[in-house]
Amino acid sequence: MRYLVALLIFAPIVASGETYSLDGEWVWFRALSTGASWFQTNGKGTITGSGNTFRAELYDGKDPKFLRHQVTGSNSGIAIKARVVVMSSDVGPSTLTGRLKRFCYKGGGSEVIFLYDETTVLGLSRALPKGALCDPTP
């Protein structure tokens, strides 16, 4: 009986937000070292996911119809590994690794993903969706 009561109490909590998704709109930036300076781009994009894999389409900040980057990757819960393709470019795909960090504060929270390799940093950020439970450990 005790287990049934616990199940009835905690099942709605698990169903309401514990299964978590990266889906939604994010803002992003990419900085690439050119040796003497940094080449930077930024904009908005969307992430869609299924299970532990995701796909992001990142659009240019100055021309929101221009798809600047496509990102496909996986989130192991500890680390994120992603393949980044620069669209309309002769630059080949790159593999970036990093992690997701969640920040909680009264009334909400935000998430930040930082991915990097030897010369490139890709950062994505978003406010948590309204009504999402904020747990600082993604």
Whether the predicted pLDDT of 19 surpasses 70: no
Residue 138, in any domain of the structure: no
Q: Which residues have CB under 8 Å from 20's CB, separation 6+?
A: 132, 138
Residue 84, in any domain of the structure: yes
pLDDT of 73-96, one tens digit each? 999 988 999 999 999 998 899 999
pLDDT at 91: 86
Q: What angle do CA 114, 50, 133 make, to 5 degrees?
A: 65
Return the CATH number at 99. Answer: 2.40.160.90
Residue 78, in any domain of the structure: yes
**SS3 call for 100:** strand
Structural domain boundaries enclosing 119: 20-127
Residue 66, in any domain of the structure: yes
Q: What angle do CA 27, 33, 37 make, to 5 degrees?
A: 105
Residue 3, in any domain of the structure: no
- DSSP 8-state assignment for residue 93: P
CA 58 to chain CA centroid, nearest Å:
11
Count of domains for the chain: 1
In this prediction the pTM is 0.79
According to DSSP, the residues that pair with 95 across neighbouring strands are 83
Question: The tokens of 31 are what?
Answer: 């900085």
pLDDT of 29-65, one tens digit each? 999 999 999 999 999 999 999 889 999 999 999 999 9
Residue 82, in any domain of the structure: yes
Q: How far is residue 132's CA from residue 138's CA, in Å, rounded to a whole number?
A: 12
* Mean of pLDDT over the chain: 84
Amino acid at 128: L
Residue 9, in any domain of the structure: no
Residue 116, in any domain of the structure: yes
Q: Which residues have CB under 8 Å from 3's CB, separation 6+?
A: none
